[in-house]
Amino acid sequence: MPPVSRTVRIGSAHGLHARPAKLFAQAAKDSGLPVTIAKGSASPVNAASILGVIALGVEKGDYVTLSVEGDGAENLLDTLTELLTTDHDAEA
């Protein structure tokens, strides 16, 4: 099964740091599927790595590309897309 990719625009006011990064990496890790995230055209990193995700330095409005391989890849992409496009900092 080939990997499925999707490009998403970041919605959180503070980018993909702190709480949003934690929620995202946690979701990727909990899925058990191999997920990568790439900022722009840079090389992808393991999405389950909170350090890798934080170190991307992703800001609000940046585009990132997610890639997932395996059963349920589309569903997982839906979940992760939802996480990335939501402004988590506005909830508090």
Q: How many residues does the chain have?
A: 92
Give the C-alpha separation, 49 to 52, whole Å: 5
Q: What is the DSSP letter of 73?
A: H
Q: Which of 6, 14, 17, 29 is catalytic?
A: 17
| Site membership for another protein, residue 54 (CB under 8 A) | yes
| Site membership for another protein, residue 46 (CB under 8 A) | yes
Give the C-alpha separation, 61 to 27, whole Å: 21
**Among the listed residues 33, 35, 50, 64, the single contact to another protein using CB under 8 A:** 50
Residue 89 DSSP SS3:
helix
Give the C-alpha separation, 23 to 47, whole Å: 11
| Site membership for another protein, residue 25 (CB under 8 A) | yes
Tell me whether residue 17 is one of the annotated catalytic residues. yes
| Site membership for another protein, residue 22 (CB under 8 A) | yes
Binding site for another protein (CB under 8 A): 14, 17-19, 21-22, 25-26, 29, 45-46, 48-52, 54-55, 57
